[in-house]
Amino acid sequence: MATTLDNVGIVVEDLTSVIEFFRDLGLELEGRAMTEGEWAGRCTGLGDQRAEVAMMRTPDGHGRLELCRFLEPEIVEDHRNAPVNALGYLRVMFNVDDMDETLARLRPHGTQLVSTEVVQYENVYKLCYVRGPENILVGLAQNLS
């Protein structure tokens, strides 16, 4: 039985710009390192691999993202432009203190709303999906209660 979620992994091309995006969202960089060799490939099933990995942590310490840039083997598929109803990875959702301030902080990264507006669900949440660097799909929720 799983007891905790350790992390969610996202494969990227430009690790530095994606790290900066998630920093501006409020995550903290835990570390950045190379993973390479036969041992890593045994875990992923990719054989001999080389990848640069950065681990990002939410300020409360309960959530982490593993950002990975593969050097070998090369990327074989790209799902970043898939719509929100595509099978597989959908999005990562974060709670934010202030939706407007968060969106303003993320705008310099080229962040775009997926729809035309931030929506409000009753008097409970403001919600939106955004596309960040490399079209990474991120959900944002502001609790209004």
Report pLDDT digits (tens) over 57-74: 999 999 999 999 999 998
**100, containing H or E segment:** helix 99-106
Which residue segment(s) compose the domain that 45 sits in?
8-72
Q: Is residue 49 domain-shared with residue 15, that is, in the same domain?
A: yes
Report pLDDT digits (tens) over 3-36: 778 899 999 999 999 999 999 999 999 999 999 8
Phi, psi of 16 (to 5 degrees): -60, -45
Q: Is residue 109 domain-shared with residue 64, that is, in the same domain?
A: no
| Residue 86 domain-assigned (yes or no) | no
| Residue 3 domain-assigned (yes or no) | no
Q: Return the CATH number at 22.
A: 3.10.180.10
* Length of the chain as a residue count: 145
pTM of the model: 0.89
The residue behind tokens 């840039």 is: 69
Number of domains in the chain: 2
Instruction: Look at residue 2 in the predicted model and tell me its pLDDT.
Output: 72
